[in-house]
Amino acid sequence: MQTIIELINNYGYIILFFALALELILLPLPGELMMTYCGFLIYKGNMDLLPSILTATAGVTLGITISYITGSTLGERFFQKYGSHFHLGPNRLKKVSSWFDTYGTKLIFLAYYIPGIRHLTGYFSGITKLSYKKFALNAYLGALVWTSTFILLGNFLGLNWYKFHYYSKELTIVIISLAASILLILYIYKKSQISVLKSPYKTMNLLNSIGKIKLALFSIVAMLLGFFAFYNFT
């Protein structure tokens, strides 16, 4: 990590772009830490916020697009036979497949926050011949949200940016919970527009469910704010 920090200090946006692209292609690099450090450099005035977010998003977009094209071109047989040599063997593919069955294409969006999974979703999307339109919608929007999250976090933490390393797992859980809750609320809101037309009784049940979800979301936001406060006062 120290080497990457020195490279970012010297070359800034270029290293941010290529490092994140390579991470999404499958090179084990600490993406969140790099982006958090860039947020700190923005706090110091050494980098700018918008160019950093756009550069990081472009790098992630390039990396996951290359993995999608690679998966689509080489196909499932190649990865079944040779994938284990670069951590994309049958067991990994089966695990990601079960996640896709459960969460659908939304997994591409959420997987950015899950180390060990975000590197696989592009390949798997290509292997399964997921349409480019569906892939791009989730992958590129997810890239923008993911990069913005950690760059803004580093900027918010300022001099305490390095503490992210010690609490990254806990913070990742909170962020995933928050993102999942928001997606769930948006999904239910979309369904509610249909339910209102069909049945008032179903609508009342739906409103009760939304109330519970809002309460859960409020709790998660409170956890997140508490976590930030803990960072600032420790």
In the chain, domain spans: 1-159, 160-232
Lowest mean pLDDT among 47-51, 110-114, 138-142: 110-114
Most confident range, picked from 24-33, 74-83, 220-229: 24-33
pLDDT for 140 equals 95
Q: What is the pTM of this model?
A: 0.71
Average pLDDT over residues 173-189: 61
How many CB atoms neighbour CB 228 within 10 A? 16
Rounded distance, CA 101 to CA 231, Å?
37
3-class SS at 180?
helix
Lowest mean pLDDT among 8-17, 56-65, 85-94, 135-144: 85-94
Lowest mean pLDDT among 8-17, 31-40, 81-90: 81-90
Categorize the per-residue pLDDT at 110 as very low, low, confident or very high, splitting at 50, 70 and 90: confident
pLDDT for 15 equals 92
Rounded distance, CA 110 to CA 64, Å?
14
Confidence check: pLDDT of 54 > 90: yes
Average pLDDT over residues 10-31: 89
Confidence check: pLDDT of 129 > 80: yes
pLDDT for 61 equals 96
Token pair 């689509």 in the structure block, residue? 72
Share of the chain above pLDDT 70, in %: 65
Lowest mean pLDDT among 129-133, 181-185, 213-217: 213-217
Rounded distance, CA 77 to CA 204, Å?
50
Categorize the per-residue pLDDT at 196 as very low, low, confident or very high, splitting at 50, 70 and 90: very low
Average pLDDT over residues 24-47: 88
Cα–Cα distances in angstroms (integers) from residue 115 to residues 25, 26, 157, 184, 193, in the given order: 13, 11, 22, 22, 36
State the virtual CA torsion across 26, 29, 33, 36 in degrees, nearest 10.
-60
Lowest mean pLDDT among 8-12, 28-32, 125-129, 186-190: 186-190
Confidence check: pLDDT of 226 > 60: no
Q: What is the mean pLDDT of the chain?
A: 76
CB 193 within 8 A of CB 229: no
Confidence check: pLDDT of 115 > 60: yes
Average pLDDT over residues 118-129: 86
The crossing angle, in degrees rounded to 10, of helices 2-11 and 13-25 is: 130
